Structure 1
Amino acid sequence: MRASLSVTDLSFAWPDGSPVFSGLDLGIGPGRHGLVGLNGSGKSTLLRLIAGELTPQGGTIGVDGAVAHLPQDPGAEPSQTVAEVLGIAGTLAALARVEGGSTTVEDFDAIGDRWDIAERTEAGLSRLGLGHLGLDRTVASVSGGELVLLSLVARLLTRPSVLLLDEPTNNLDAAARDRLIDIVASWKGTLLVVSHDRQLLNAMDDIGSLRGGSVRWYGGGYDDYEAAVAVEQEAAERAVRAAESDLRAQKRDRIEAESVLATRRKQGEKAWAEKRMPKIAMGNYKRRAQVSAGKLRGVHDDRIEDATARLAEAEELVHDDREIRVDLPDTVVPGGRDVLTLDGVRPAYGELTIDLAVRGPERIGLTGANGTGKTSLLRTITGELEPADGAVRAYVPLRYLPQRMDLLDGTLTVAENVARIAPSTTENERRAQLARFLFRGRAADQPASTLSGGERLRATLACLLLAEPAPQLLLLDEPTNNLDLPSIRHLVEALESYRGAFIVVSHDERFLDDLELTRRIDV
């Protein structure tokens, strides 16, 4: 299976006029290609453009073969069955009718060339550890990680030549991540993966860095990319220091030249006052001095201008990767204070039953395989779901960050969403807080529907922390999903500075280790 993908002179902007790409060129052949970049740089938008889900304003996109796209949040109606998510319900029904004797053209058209769909589906589900899921099971009883894998199986069943994956390891436990990476490692067509998962990115043949509307490629996996960028950045920073030194030297020379000119001017003024030479000669001398001074100033001005330009060019090569800068509200929970108790709580979905007492500013990590009920437990703590058994008691204000980040109203701007949940705050207070989450100036006026995955998380987190009353207990469900690596590092710092309690569900082992949790609970 051979495939190629090309993007030529691509231009795209959102309906409000916000530009994303202008003249983007991209070309990749068969192999495994990773795509990285800061949140909001356009990675997910690029995949949607290639998949035909968005229409560019200019340029061309060429794909050799069929395309399948797995978005960050595949989404599905809770009432849908596994077969419907896989896109095979109609085909299976037609097969059943044909096996029962039907000879209608409609049934044969519904089957097409997919006579082996049942066998391929069984093999695909088994390969990703989903063999236990019945085809008539509803999405409401499936975990977020299982839904991601189901959606991947659905794409693989279409036998694409070009596969586009957007943060495919989100919500996956360690075993599921390993299975997905096995599929990636054995992929024979063209694969383009947007991810912040180091393990997955290290399985790539090369890494593309999307920055400033263009893509630069680096051979090898993420570790190789990071090493190459470190060397480039060290050289770029040296160039900046050299350019700064040259600019300072040129400015010093300009000052010294002005000092020389000032001395000459004083000498000329003294000679004029003492009438030490004829008037005509004095006039000629003055004109020559003015011309000479003008030339000298021009030379130094040109040198300063050149040095300034070289500094600007050098600075452009240095990555200024902005990070989330969170100033969390003062939500101190004294040591020993009761925050939350769970007495024999069994969520409506999943298999776990748990007793838990949270006191003081504890930070607790909740881990376990997909489908055990971790997300259902968090929803039970918030009161969104009734427990199948047991009792939940929360003693402080709490806020919940769900996996799907569906707290924002897509018809409102980022600033309007914050105003909706914190009506007593002033416009300046909201803008100041949003700036710490990188929504500065016009960025705070973006409609929530146009935000990237990482931007949605930042906006949602800002809303939670500005909510009234301010939370003393945070419930975080896979908070690193869709965040770039610099933002993950700063999110760790932000949570370390938070003085309330939190419970975090995550499969990101590095993230959990960095949090220095009070305790970890494996369910």
Structure 2
Amino acid sequence: MPAHTLTPSIVLDRVSFAWPDGSSALTDVSGAFSAVRTGLVGRNGSGKSTLLRLVAGELSPAGGHVTTSADVAYLPQRLTLDVDRPVADLLGVSATLGALRAIESGDVDPSHFDAVGSDWDVESRAHVALAEAGLAPGMLDRRVGELSGGEAVLTAIAGIRLRGASIALLDEPTNNLDREARARLAAMVRGWRGTLVVVSHDVSLLELMDETAELYRNELSVFGGPYSEWRAWLDSEQSAAKRAEVAAAAVVRREKKDRIEAETKIAQRQAVGRKAQFEKRVPGIIAGNRKSAAQVSAGKLRTETRDKESAARSALDAAERRVRDDGTVRIDLPDPGVPAGRRIAKIGDGARSWVIQGPERVALIGPNGAGKTTLLEHLLHGASESSVLYTDRVGYLPQRVDGLDDAATVLDNVQIAAPEVPVTELRNRLARFLIRGSGVDRPVSTLSGGERFRVALARVLLADPPPQLIVLDEPTNNLDLDTVDQLIGALTAYRGAVLVVSHDDAFVKRLGVSLLLELDAEGALTER
């Protein structure tokens, strides 16, 4: 696998980590990241976020070592914010800025000069950072609570750049970002200096990377190119591996056949020899010599054929190991019994409204902060006369998966939505979401972001009776690309109505929506 040969800035040496319940997150992972932009990919639950937290020092490995060449800045997947903090705190310049302003007001306390150091232009650089995040300079002293979720993420990333961290780790930075915010993030990434490791399922962001790293079954491999080149290489490699597997299996069959034929010949020769000896009354010494020679010849033939078959089986084993046998989520949604003309819901802004009926697919788009999630909440909780539900069978997956009971198991959380379904059947259904065996009994608190989302998705889609309306708020934020494909397939075949909020243009297009509504910054809905 081609990769750059630059000096590594992050080195992992046989790193292992397990959660408090004993479940393993990473085992003997080794690898390195260079001082370039690297996209880190892998299936949900492969340990990507855990790996970043280990590199950032938030977690300590149970075994092995993590070595970094410089200071590390980390943006977690779920940015926890104190809404009353000033924006300067989010940028990481609050202390320096406060000291600078104290000096400017005449306070000559030496501690202020120590705090500023040589960073006398911190305020002007902070203004540039805010501009990168799409905020006006006047926002520097305002509260974080006045920012949208997307603005807060961009501001935190701009703060990492502003502080000049040599190593930056970003976990799913495009989650909840609208088109404009994603464009601003892309501009930041294009001009990034130093080591940047980005965990993301956003293909457009991954295309900006110099390298692509994959965490797969506790193996970290690095490819020297962006996601599309890596994907093409992987597809080609897997095609070759499957051809090699077929060829190796054919050799095993041939060598097995040769061994069986050889054993048959040996048995026939032995039978003929015994018969000849009996009929011709060959003297004992001569018969013994012939028998010994025959045994030596038979032994050589057996050894040769068995060795060839053994070598062929070893080659087949090696070929099979190259072929990935990845499980894929299989989502089969039951028929909710919604006739084509059945009114399911009405959604509007007070001035206009649109009716959702039958198996209709509706998408709601708009910039961060426009109020899309609020509009959904009004619909679901009857807080608006212009947005009304005509069914009580609704499955809702919010943008932030905060409705799960962290202390309860996966099974307990899902069983809430399907209390009449036998546990055995529910386990079988969860297996289709790649939640199998002991994973069903794990506490939700031990799951990765992607795994938590999959559990929440399972609870919505496995509800009994099945929902007549499925409402999804940014469903692709935490799903790997293969699971997104499965979700689209399931929703396409689903016989109920679907209402989705998404900034993922590709997802909306592939879903085949019949009604596309855009909510502007003023709260007005228009049909596109």
Equivalent of residue 437 in structure 1, options 421, 426, 433: 433
Task: Please name the residue that 2:3 is paired with.
Answer: none
Distance 1:417 1:391, change over 3 A: closer
Asked whether the equivalents of residues 327 and 433 of structure 1 are also in contact (C-alpha less than 8 Å), the reply is no
- Of 275-284 and 436-445, more deviation after overlay is shown by 275-284
Q: Name the SS of the counterpart of 1:326 in structure 2.
A: coil
Please give the alpha-carbon distance, in whole angstroms, between the structure 1 residues aligned to 2:142 and 2:373. Answer: 18
Equivalent of residue 257 in structure 2, options 252, 260, 272: 252
Equivalent of residue 477 in structure 2, options 469, 475, 481: 481
How far 1:72 moved relative to its partner? 1.5
Correspondence 1:145 to 2:150: yes
1:367-398 CA deviation, whole Å, 9 max, x = no partner? 11111111222222222xx7476442332411
Asked whether the equivalents of residues 363 and 517 of structure 2 are also in contact (C-alpha less than 8 Å), the reply is yes
Task: Please name the residue that 1:368 is paired with.
Answer: 366
Task: Please name the residue that 2:355 is paired with.
Answer: 357
Asked whether the equivalents of residues 345 and 391 of structure 2 are also in contact (C-alpha less than 8 Å), the reply is yes
- Of 181-190 and 459-468, more deviation after overlay is shown by 459-468
How far 1:446 moved relative to its partner? 2.9
1:201-253 CA deviation, whole Å, 9 max, x = no partner? 11111111222322222222122222222332232222212211111111111
Correspondence 1:55 to 2:51: no
Please give the alpha-carbon distance, in whole angstroms, between the structure 2 residues aligned to 1:54 and 1:368. Answer: 37
Please give the alpha-carbon distance, in whole angstroms, between the structure 2 residues aligned to 1:269 and 1:122. Answer: 100
Distance 1:133 1:482, change over 3 A: farther
Task: Please name the residue that 1:349 is paired with.
Answer: none
Correspondence 1:194 to 2:192: no
Distance 1:471 1:85, change over 3 A: farther
- Of 6-15 and 98-107, more deviation after overlay is shown by 98-107
- What letter is aligned with 2:510? D
Correspondence 1:233 to 2:238: yes
Task: Please name the residue that 2:468 is paired with.
Answer: 472
Distance 1:4 1:354, change over 3 A: farther
Asked whether the equivalents of residues 129 and 155 of structure 2 are also in contact (C-alpha less than 8 Å), the reply is no
Asked whether the equivalents of residues 333 and 499 of structure 1 are also in contact (C-alpha less than 8 Å), the reply is yes
Scaled by the length of structure 2, what TM-score is found? 0.87
Equivalent of residue 507 in structure 1, options 495, 503, 507: 503
Asked whether the equivalents of residues 3 and 162 of structure 1 are also in contact (C-alpha less than 8 Å), the reply is no
Question: Structure 1: which 5+ residue stretches go unaligned?
Answer: 346-352
Task: Please name the residue that 1:350 is paired with.
Answer: none
Distance 1:137 1:359, change over 3 A: farther
Q: Name the SS of the counterpart of 1:123 in structure 2.
A: helix
- What letter is aligned with 2:366? G
User: After the TM superposition, which residues 327-342 of structure 1 pair with which residues of structure 2 at under 5 Å, given as runs?
Assistant: 327-342=332-347
Task: Please name the residue that 2:415 is paired with.
Answer: 419
Distance 1:446 1:305, change over 3 A: farther
Aligned identity (percent) is: 46
User: After the TM superposition, which residues 32-51 of structure 1 pair with which residues of structure 2 at under 5 Å, given as runs?
Assistant: 32-51=37-56
Asked whether the equivalents of residues 325 and 436 of structure 1 are also in contact (C-alpha less than 8 Å), the reply is yes
1:99-141 CA deviation, whole Å, 9 max, x = no partner? 6665667777776766655443333222222339846766666
Total equivalences in the alignment: 513
Distance 1:50 1:444, change over 3 A: same
Question: Structure 2: which 5+ residue stretches go unaligned?
Answer: 1-6, 520-528
Asked whether the equivalents of residues 41 and 213 of structure 1 are also in contact (C-alpha less than 8 Å), the reply is yes
Equivalent of residue 75 in structure 2, options 70, 84, 109: 70
Task: Please name the residue that 1:264 is paired with.
Answer: 269
- What letter is aligned with 1:69? Y
1:170-229 CA deviation, whole Å, 9 max, x = no partner? 121221111101101101111111112221111111111222322222222122222222
How far 1:324 moved relative to its partner? 1.4
1:467-491 CA deviation, whole Å, 9 max, x = no partner? 2432111111111113222222222
RMSD: 3.0
Please give the alpha-carbon distance, in whole angstroms, between the structure 2 residues aligned to 1:332 and 1:505. Answer: 24
Please give the alpha-carbon distance, in whole angstroms, between the structure 2 residues aligned to 1:379 and 1:151. Answer: 27
How far 1:51 moved relative to its partner? 0.5
Please give the alpha-carbon distance, in whole angstroms, between the structure 2 residues aligned to 1:354 and 1:80. Answer: 38
Scaled by the length of structure 1, what TM-score is found? 0.88
Asked whether the equivalents of residues 361 and 502 of structure 1 are also in contact (C-alpha less than 8 Å), the reply is yes
Distance 1:55 1:335, change over 3 A: same
Q: Name the SS of the counterpart of 2:483 in structure 1.
A: helix
1:291-317 CA deviation, whole Å, 9 max, x = no partner? 654543333232222211111111222
Task: Please name the residue that 2:494 is paired with.
Answer: 498
Please give the alpha-carbon distance, in whole angstroms, between the structure 2 residues aligned to 1:156 and 1:320. Answer: 40
- What letter is aligned with 2:184? R
Q: Name the SS of the counterpart of 1:76 in structure 2.
A: coil
- Of 171-180 and 390-399, more deviation after overlay is shown by 390-399
- What letter is aligned with 1:397? R
Please give the alpha-carbon distance, in whole angstroms, between the structure 1 residues aligned to 2:331 and 2:217. Answer: 25
1:249-308 CA deviation, whole Å, 9 max, x = no partner? 111112212322342344356557757545676666566555654543333232222211
Asked whether the equivalents of residues 3 and 65 of structure 1 are also in contact (C-alpha less than 8 Å), the reply is no
Please give the alpha-carbon distance, in whole angstroms, between the structure 2 residues aligned to 1:425 and 1:290. Answer: 66
Please give the alpha-carbon distance, in whole angstroms, between the structure 1 residues aligned to 2:111 and 2:408. Answer: 45
Q: Name the SS of the counterpart of 1:493 in structure 2.
A: helix
Q: Name the SS of the counterpart of 2:269 in structure 1.
A: helix
- What letter is aligned with 2:405? D
Task: Please name the residue that 2:15 is paired with.
Answer: 10
Q: Name the SS of the counterpart of 1:424 in structure 2.
A: coil
Equivalent of residue 22 in structure 1, options 2, 22, 27: 27
Q: Name the SS of the counterpart of 1:421 in structure 2.
A: coil
Please give the alpha-carbon distance, in whole angstroms, between the structure 1 residues aligned to 2:276 and 2:138. Answer: 102
Equivalent of residue 449 in structure 1, options 445, 467, 477: 445
How far 1:362 moved relative to its partner? 0.6
- What letter is aligned with 1:369? P
Task: Please name the residue that 2:403 is paired with.
Answer: 407
Task: Please name the residue that 1:130 is paired with.
Answer: 135
- Of 268-277 and 462-471, more deviation after overlay is shown by 268-277
Asked whether the equivalents of residues 92 and 163 of structure 2 are also in contact (C-alpha less than 8 Å), the reply is no
- What letter is aligned with 2:408? L
Task: Please name the residue that 2:379 is paired with.
Answer: 381
Q: Name the SS of the counterpart of 2:306 in structure 1.
A: helix
